[in-house]
Amino acid sequence: MNLFERYEKLKSQAVRLMEKGQIAAYLETLMELNGLKRQIQMLKTSN
């Protein structure tokens, strides 16, 4: 799974967690998404 696919998967997971009220897991997922977003941005600027 590439970074973009992982990012999209985590986004949908974050939505599900928020809907279930699992705030701690939701925040962890957001932090992971933020890290992936930075990696993707670095890849875009390096190409």
Instruction: Summarize pLDDT for 1-47 with one digit per residue, the tens.
Output: 798 999 999 999 999 999 999 999 999 999 999 999 999 999 999 97
Distance CA 8, CA 11 (A): 5
Domain that holds residue 9: 3-46
Look at the chain and report how many structural domains it folds into: 1
pLDDT at 27: 96
Where do the H-state alpha helices sit in 1-47? 3-20, 23-46
Q: What is the DSSP letter of 47?
A: -
Distance CA 13, CA 19 (A): 10
pLDDT at 32: 96
Chain-centroid distance, C-alpha 41: 13
Phi-psi region of 22 (alpha: psi -120 to 50; beta: other; left: phi over 0): beta
pLDDT at 1: 77
